[in-house]
Amino acid sequence: MVYFPEVEKIQYEGVGTKNPFAFRHYNPEEVVEGKTMKEHLRFAIAYWHTMTQDGSDPFGNPTNERPWFGATPLETAKNRVEAFFEILVKLDAPYFCFHDIDIAPEGDTLEEFYENLDIITDLIKAKMDETGIKLLWNTANMFSNPRFVNGAGSSNNADVFAYAAAQVKKGLDISKKLGGENYVFWGGREGYESLLNTDMKLEQDNIARLFKMAIAYGEKIGHKPQFLIEPKPKEPTKHQYDFDAATTLAFILKYGLEGDFKLNLEGNHATLAGHTFEHELTVARINDALGSIDANQGDVLLGWDTDEFPTNVFDTTLVMLEILENGGIAPGGVNFDSKVRRSSFAKEDLFLAHIAGMDTFARGLKGAAAIRKDNFLSDLKAKRYASFESGIGASIVAGNEDLESLTEYSLKNGANIKNESSHIELVKSQLNDYLV
Ligand code: XLS
Ligand code: NI
Ligand code: NI
């Protein structure tokens, strides 16, 4: 069955087009810095926001018009696979991502869940073989079911920890079956509501135990996806352990996970943590931990995870700059962990929203490449830190100085030290010239 007969394969038509079902900036085969846009951006579409999100909010019922509901949950799940691949193909998206419960009904028992997952992943595999579309990452949803009320890896209840382990095992089996390039852990309820009843050390040790079991099982079955942790400071729990990139890196290093784990960074999670998206990417990049990104944006007026499609060119330019500085994002990608607004309930909004996000990231890529071509920011930084290139600065960096030698130097150099203006307003204004 064709779910979107009125939508043709989306083509690049350029900025002049009036066709809303066309790319105006994302030209998959256009070469930027020696690679095609498609290779740079590695776009992925998220199953949860595209196929299962219904438009409901805490105050309102579902609004989304979706043509794939069948007589039973399993029938609906099968229809979704068909519709999802139609969307992927028509948007020319090379990758996708999902949680286990997005694709298959949980049923009443773990056995039933496994059976449903087998049926649906068979269908997904056939579609992947037919289209060449690949799995960027999958993950286990260990936060929606009531059993995870107190967390999964961090639960106080060992039976829940064991159940989570069973979901992760199946997640890795599926990852192997579908050739997943990454495997994500987002700690939805790995945090606490109150410290009064929380053993923080045991909870964090246990999360690390679960991660080590995942590494060991991957090795056992001969499948080694890049493991990723996705930081988020809060929501649904009041305080989540993987607060931001820096906190999560400390966890990774403390438990010796750095050989297997990197970070999956999300725009709206960055802003919830009080950072910019590019701040989080920079922290990851300089620590060799930039794995993948969940592309979305928040709303400055709202304090929760609104998961809006990225439409802010300033932000995507700075994000793509970090990705280019990193030498690319592979085996990660740019996953639209983004959902249409409740008022964008028409089924074709799924296309319009992704086109908006893809075009905004394409603009970011082009802008970032132009900034790099002119060495605009690299020259500026080189000049700003030039004092460490020669003289006493070079000697400090080389490790040839100590407190005594620097005291001697400063006594001679004197207290009248000259600094230079940053002219940061000029820099910001010049940066605007690069926004595509
Ligand atoms: C929720 C997260 C989630 C992860 C995958 O805020 O972004 O969707 O990406 O579990
Ligand atoms: Ni996410
Ligand atoms: Ni999120």
Collapsing DSSP to helix, strand or coil, 98 comes out as strand
The pLDDT, as a whole number, for residue 170 is 98
Q: Domain spans of the chain?
A: 11-374, 379-433
Which positions of the chain have pLDDT values less than 50?
Answer: none
Cα(419) to ligand 1 centroid in Å equals 44
Task: Name the residue among 173, 95, 159 with its Cα closest to residue 335.
Answer: 95
Report how far ligand 3's centroid is from the alpha carbon of 380 (Å): 34
Pairing status of strand 239-240 against strand 191-192: antiparallel
pLDDT at position 381 is 98
Peptide bond into 236 cis (omega under 30): yes
- What is the distance between the alpha carbons of residues 231 and 299, in angstroms, rounded to a whole number? 18
Whether the CB-CB separation of 267 and 296 falls below 8 Å is answered with yes
254: closest CA among 185, 189, 199, 201? 201
Query: Radius of gyration of the chain from Cα atoms?
Result: 24
Catalytic site includes residue 25? no
For residue 157, report the distance from its CA to the centre of ligand 3, in Å. Answer: 26
CATH fit for domain 11-374, picks 3.20.20.10, 3.20.20.150, 3.40.50.300, 3.40.50.2000: 3.20.20.150
- Does any ligand 1 atom lie closer than 6 A to the CB of residue 181? no
- Let me know if 99 is a catalytic residue: yes
Q: Is the peptide bond preceding residue 331 cis, with omega within 30 degrees of 0?
A: yes
* Ligand 1 pocket residue status of 137, Cβ below 6 Å: no
Task: Out of 52, 266, 280, 336, give the residue to mutate to test ligand 1, the one with the largest number of ligand atoms within 8 Å of its CB.
Answer: 266
The protein residue whose alpha carbon is closest to atom 5 in ligand 1 is 186
- Residue 242 · residue 248 · CB < 8 Å: yes
118 marked ligand binding residue = no
Judge if the upstream peptide bond of residue 225 is cis by omega within 30 degrees of 0.
Answer: no
- In angstroms, how far is the first alpha carbon of the chain from the final one? 39
Q: Which of 100, 102, 260, 359 is catalytic?
A: 102
Consecutive H or E run containing 185: strand 182-186
Query: How much is the pLDDT for 367?
Result: 98
Which residues does 329 contact at the CB level (< 8 Å), separation at least 6?
42, 290, 291, 292, 293, 323
Mutate which of 49, 230, 265, 280 for ligand 1 pocket (most atoms within 8 A of beta carbon): 230
Q: Is 184 exposed, middle or buried (0-12, 13-18, 19+ CB in 10 A)?
A: buried
DSSP state letter for 308: B
pLDDT tens, residue by residue, 54-105? 999 999 999 999 999 999 999 999 999 999 999 999 999 999 999 999 999 9
What is the best residue among 52, 141, 232 to mutate for testing ligand 1's pocket, by most ligand atoms within 8 Å of CB?
232
Is 199 annotated as belonging to a binding site? no
Residue nearest to atom 8 of ligand 1 (CA): 337
Atom 4 in ligand 1: which residue has the minimum CA distance?
A: 186
The predicted pLDDT at position 218 comes to: 98
Catalytic residue among 99, 275, 279, 354: 99
Number of H helices, E strands in the chain: 16, 14
Question: Residue 170: which of 248, 223, 126, 123 has the closest Cα?
Answer: 223
Question: In 3-state terms, what secondary structure has residue 55?
Answer: coil
Structure confidence at residue 358 (pLDDT): 99
Query: Looking at ligand 1, which residue's alpha carbon is closest to its atom 2?
Result: 186
Query: pLDDT tens digits, residue range 343-357?
Result: 999 999 999 999 999
**Cβ pair 127, 171 in contact under 8 A:** no
For residues 224-241, b (16+ Cβ closer than 10 Å) or e, as one string? ebbbbbbbbbbeebeebb
Helix (H) or strand (E) holding 311: none
**Rounded Cα gap, residues 245 and 243, in angstroms:** 7
pTM check: above 0.95 = yes
The structure tokens 């059993």 sit at 147
What are the structure tokens assigned to 289, written together? 């931990």
H or E element that contains 90: helix 73-91
Contacts of 309 (CB under 8 A, 6+ apart): 296, 297, 336, 338, 339, 340, 353, 354, 356, 357, 360
Ligand 1 midpoint to CA 416 (Å): 52
